[in-house]
Amino acid sequence: MDTDSLRTFLAIHRAGGFSAAAEQLNRSQPAISRRIALLENELGAPVFERTAAGVMLSQLGQVLLPHAERVLAALEDAHLAVRELREGDAGPVALAAVGTLAGAGLTRILKRFAAEAPDAALTLRTATSSQVSDLVRRGEATLGLRYFEDRSPDLQCHAMAPEELVVACAPGHRLAGRAVSGLADLAGEHWLAFPRRDEQGEVAAETISAQFLVRHVAGFRWSAVDSLTAQKRLVEAGFGISLTPASGMAEELAAGTLAVIAVEDLTAFNPVFAVQRRGGHLSAAARRLLALLTEEA
């Protein structure tokens, strides 16, 4: 079992088929098929099942998958360590972050990082919290930013400054700029919130439900909106109110297009963590970025 076989196996799994994997790897489909046939012959069982719906992992393939990911991630660590020895602070740093965390605060950090490590090639991609962990675990991201701590033994989490949440409303709302004694007073409002975790996979989507449940409010009217920008535009238009990151609505507050309802019994935060692979190699540039991300914690 060699790294080329494992890389081919992972490419087919992630691409969803042999043809797509062959294109990604810039190889012919017969060459891809022969490589998998050799792997399956060595293991004594198929790693994929060919169905009418496409290619899916066999039981053996499911067992092999996490080991293949760890092997290739360790190999990438070796390449990065050698490259760092040659290039110092230069080289790639891949950051995966939940989309709602890619706001003004992260922008300030990335600007500072670019100034301090100008030769580092930084890339950024967005994903849900669980996807961020998976990208870091597989070595596709050097660091990740996610909501809530991931206690998986193969990941190491570093606390960042938590994300403060406030109740946002339209400037013309009857309670705009005013205070209410408790969140339960707003149970009759129409809320805009992210789809719940079982629908779209973001753990922080449960925050508003949890806030009502601890106040013994069993139900409230809400609509699922999977974009923070869309939520803000709908709130501005008066279609509802939302529990919104304070840092994500600074521009709207300054422009007067959004307002805040103060809730006396509400102090809400989403915990935020930077994630790295436990035991994985971090270049000098990646270590500097991690320090910048966590220095306000």
Q: Kindly report, residue by residue over 184-212, the tens digit of the pLDDT.
A: 999 999 999 988 766 455 777 888 888 99
Count of domains for the chain: 3
Q: In angstroms, rounded to a whole number, what is the distance separating the alpha carbons of residues 145 and 292?
A: 13
Together in a domain, 156 and 217: no
Tell the burial category of 221 from Cβ atoms under 10 Å away from its Cβ (0-12, 13-18, 19+): exposed
Is 38 part of any domain? yes
Together in a domain, 107 and 121: yes
Together in a domain, 183 and 261: yes
CATH of the domain at 138: 3.40.190.10
CATH of the domain at 190: 3.40.190.290
Q: What is the pLDDT of residue 55?
A: 84
Together in a domain, 248 and 265: yes
Is 71 part of any domain? no
Confidence of residue 177 (pLDDT cuts 50, 70, 90): very high
Residue 292 has pLDDT above 60, yes or no: yes
Together in a domain, 263 and 277: no
CATH of the domain at 34: 1.10.10.10
The 8-class DSSP code of residue 199 comes to H
> For residue range 82-125, what is the model confidence (pLDDT) as tens digits?
666 555 666 789 999 998 898 878 999 999 999 998 888 899 99
- Looking at the chain, the whole-number percentage of residues with pLDDT higher than 70 is 94
Is 83 part of any domain? no
Is 49 part of any domain? yes
Q: In angstroms, rounded to a whole number, what is the distance separating the alpha carbons of residues 25 and 74?
A: 20
Together in a domain, 226 and 143: no
> For residue range 178-187, what is the model confidence (pLDDT) as tens digits?
999 999 999 9
Is 104 part of any domain? yes
Together in a domain, 119 and 38: no
Together in a domain, 263 and 130: no
Q: 48 forms bridges with which residues in the sheet?
A: 57
Range of the domain at 286: 88-161+272-294
Contact by Cβ (8 Å): 242, 191: yes
Say which residue, 36 or 239, is predicted with more confidence.
239
Closest CA to 267 of 166, 175, 191: 166
Together in a domain, 174 and 136: no
Together in a domain, 244 and 104: no
Is 76 part of any domain? no
pTM above 0.75, yes or no: no
Is 75 part of any domain? no
Q: Which two tokens stand for residue 152?
A: 């998986």
Together in a domain, 60 and 20: yes
Is 152 part of any domain? yes
Confidence of residue 266 (pLDDT cuts 50, 70, 90): very high
Helix or strand (DSSP H, E) at 126: strand 120-126
Helix 59-87, helix 3-15: angle, nearest 10: 110
Residue 71 has pLDDT above 90, yes or no: no
Together in a domain, 27 and 42: yes
